[in-house]
Amino acid sequence: MGLTLISTHTASSDATLDITSGIDSTYNEYQFYFVNMHPSADSKKLRMIASSDGGSSYGIATTTNVFQAYHNEADDATSLSYNSSTDSDASTSEITIGDSTGYDNDQACSGLMTLYAPSSTTYVKHFTAQIHQSSGSDYANNTYVAGYVNTTSAVDALQFSFDVGNIDLGTIYMYGVS
């Protein structure tokens, strides 16, 4: 398995970060590395939404499951649990891939999302994400998301954002896996 860096995207006070180029049939698997995605407001969720028309429109029904592991700095709360308030059922709005991220100067979220066979015209588009947040309430919070974009059309663009406020700072590296 080899990784090829396709593009690097660095947000700076942007409402959304859109990748509308390079997601095609070249690779059967694409990896998106999120490094220190920092929201402009406290305790915000990192989201993703897909497009099949190059980013002209977004909003393909997407279903996910979400579970989380967390542990706080005070060492009085730990959990491994399903998160029914964060999952999505055939949502045409943005879906959460990273839960509550703090906005203190030293807080952010980082992790990886994998998108499989985005150009398939036979299958729905599977993706998995594992994002770690230093949360607004000082938790080490690990969010695991898996789901599918429910279309047999090629997915060729993705948009990332926080549920409220700008992506104050943050870099996404897109790799093709061969």
Residue ranges in contact with other proteins by CB under 8 A: 7-21, 43, 55, 70, 77-79, 81, 83-85, 137, 139, 163-166
C-alpha to C-alpha distance for 22 and 111, rounded to whole angstroms: 20
Q: Which residue lies nearer to other proteins by CB, 124 or 161? A: 161
Q: In angstroms, what is the minimal distance from the CB of 154 to other proteins?
A: 18
Q: Which residue lies nearer to other proteins by CB, 124 or 131? A: 131
Q: In angstroms, what is the minimal distance from the CB of 88 to other proteins?
A: 14
Q: In angstroms, what is the minimal distance from the CB of 19 to other proteins?
A: 7
Q: Which residue lies nearer to other proteins by CB, 30 or 70? A: 70
Measured between alpha carbons, how far is residue 68 from residues 8, 35, 38, 99, 157 in Å?
28, 19, 20, 9, 27
Q: In angstroms, what is the minimal distance from the CB of 1 to other proteins?
A: 26
Helix ranges restricted to H, 42-86: none
C-alpha to C-alpha distance for 36 and 57, rounded to whole angstroms: 27
Q: Which residue lies nearer to other proteins by CB, 110 or 141? A: 141
Measured between alpha carbons, how far is residue 80 from residues 27, 28, 168, 172 in Å?
34, 32, 29, 27
